[in-house]
Chains A and B, each alone.
Chain A
């Protein structure tokens, strides 16, 4: 299952330069696409590949591309979403830092497929050094004739720009990102119209994640059918996971979808188990906004099957006993971690990052943060737990963009699976301030 497609050659020194990248097979897909394929054929290959958006929602990329409106005389834009701000997720950072040309190559091919002559990489403000890396790589690509006018004599023109954001999480939402690119406050737009119809400056636009665009390179090189053979079921291809938290070997791993979660956490090639010989308590498999899973549901599904690293298997059991693959931020908690504290920490993040445009999210995230703050610091009541559940329900589905849900899900899941621990914080106020609840075992309470 250790298969490298995106991070192929990431160990080669100098791979961030054009010369080394090119020597290792770089920009072959541009040559192939521009010289032998029509834009429609590229779209078709991506559809065949079954590639799903790597930004979090997992929407099929080819299908998204097929929605792009193509009115006459109106430019179209391809926008790369590099505003990677989800706590626990740092895969795009690694990819752009190590192999910037991979993203640029993917963007050239994708822009060709979509008919975009001006494409943007929207990068979060905190990644300023990566902006420099990308701009250097883009300059090299211009010099080599892969960007600019009449690329490889095909008549296709493409300009690629990098636009830094101001560091707001909300700008990772596609319409907020477009607003920000237009120079406005990053508030999500009302949908419909969707960006595929009315996006950047009112023109049809496609917004894709860094990893999705980088994956297009392999799809064009090997063909969509070949790519679809990698992975399992509808989760095709390889996926980058950024493992963090209490694992022995955190980092960014590329794996073929379908690897078992158990192997990923404990395998020698991967995370090498829980750090310091501790036990697994919980895991958030897809970045902070997906539901948390308690230890017994991490490696096995509720039905007792092995849980695999794939869109379907991680979501198995729905929200009752499953989670989501999300953006691949794999956060592992050991027995010493306090779930209440962690939930409060996430809630604090969402309250801080809510744009404040629509009332349920603006008021609800702040409210949840305050209630959780109280619970965590030993000032809570048992009715606060019900209150939290109720606030969750009332934010969910009532907001303009998914940030409301992203804020509500982790809290709802933490209460669902760790209610005892929340209650313990209320019933053992003093004790909860000096030690952690530990594993979710009744015995641990009976010293």
Chain B
């Protein structure tokens, strides 16, 4: 076990833990945002750079500060390490810069995007974004394409976190889905649009932090904050069958995996609770499910606040959970 201090809070974690996971052990404000890291998908992380933190002291043995900000999701802790996240002006400034970079080519089409309300980029921009863009050029655009018959890809909205690539690599047939081209022309693609044909491909939608991959059975049906999340289960021979139903009255609008406060799928029976495409896309009738009960969503995003409030206002505590 090693001791590490993050934003003046000390925590003891196992050797080899990343700074981000140590921060998650503390929880709350000290946790850096993560757009590309996904704890259930080995190999993710390091790409979006939103989780950059300042290391004020490398370790007990070598207390020199690290000259550059480091990606907390892929940097292992050392005994006696001192990390600054919220308390560092430099982190704040650079995180704002990263958000600006992520947004310059983002269409900002939240009003018509299905992800709005549960979008990590929306949350991040809300917290760190600038009021106005400095980008005067034309944004890069792509045509939306179908990845299989149930998934739509809006490359315009993609921030290239590579999470879906890892899903494709780890949960479905290898190498059917990847990145084409490079630099700002990089795009997620299957090369031949309908190539992803696998029972677990739908999990790409769940891991996507933005609205780039959306569920074609749910597109444009409703805003997520109008729906009631209900825990439900069914007997499924492919997956755990433990899901979240998004309901309006007695109608099931969509089915997703159960996610924790970091937007990652929760473990079910000791394994990541990925769900299969049959559960996700085909069981849309209440008879298919045993409904357990409503679920509270504790994220700070628009969805749980019920309405948009100014970040300067101190009244967040008084606002009830809109979706209860």
Contact = CB atoms under 8 A, between A and B. Distances in A.
Interface of A: 168, 170, 185, 190, 192, 351-360, 362-367, 370-371, 387, 394, 397-400
Contacts of A360: 49, 97-98, 101
Nearest to A354: B183
Contact of B181 (A356, A367, A397): A356
B17 to A, nearest CB: 14
A353 B183 contact: yes
Interface of B: 45-50, 52, 67-69, 71, 74-76, 94, 97-98, 100-102, 104-105, 134-135, 137, 159-160, 162, 178-179, 181-186
A363 B102 contact: yes
Nearest to A367: B104
Given A190-B46, A397-B68, A398-B94, A359 B101 contact: yes
5 contacts: A354-B183, A354-B184, A360-B101, A367-B135, A370-B137
Contacts of B98: 359-360, 394, 398
B69 A363 contact: no
B47 A358 contact: yes
A397 B55 CA distance: 14
A364 B48 CA distance: 13
A394 B50 CA distance: 12
Contact of B74 (A190, A354, A387): A190
A387 B69 CA distance: 22
A398 B49 contact: yes
Nearest to B75: A192
Contacts of A367: 101, 104, 135, 137
Contacts of B182: 168, 170, 353-356
B102 A359 contact: yes
Contact of B186 (A356, A371, A398, A400): A356
A38 B287 CA distance: 76
A371 B71 CA distance: 28
Given A363-B102, A363-B104, A398-B94, A357 B178 contact: no
Given A192-B76, A362-B101, A362-B186, 4 more contacts: A359-B159, A359-B160, A397-B67, A397-B69
Contact of A190 (B45, B159, B184, B185): B45
A343 to B, nearest CB: 17
Contacts of A397: 67-69
Nearest to B71: A190
Contact of B184 (A356, A358, A371, A398): A356
Nearest to A193: B76
A371 to B, nearest CB: 8
B69 A366 contact: no
Nearest to A369: B184
Contacts of A366: 183-184
Contacts of A400: 46-47, 71
A358 B48 contact: yes
**Residue of B105, B179, B184 with most partner-chain A CB within 10 A:** B184
Contacts of B105: 363
3 nearest A-B pairs in the assembled complex, by CB-CB distance: A356-B186, A394-B97, A366-B184
**Residue of B48, B50, B134 with most partner-chain A CB within 10 A:** B134
Contacts of A387: 134
Contacts of B137: 367, 370-371
Nearest to B96: A394
Nearest to A393: B97
A122 to B, nearest CB: 18
Given A394-B94, A398-B97, A400-B46, A362 B184 contact: yes
A363 B97 CA distance: 11
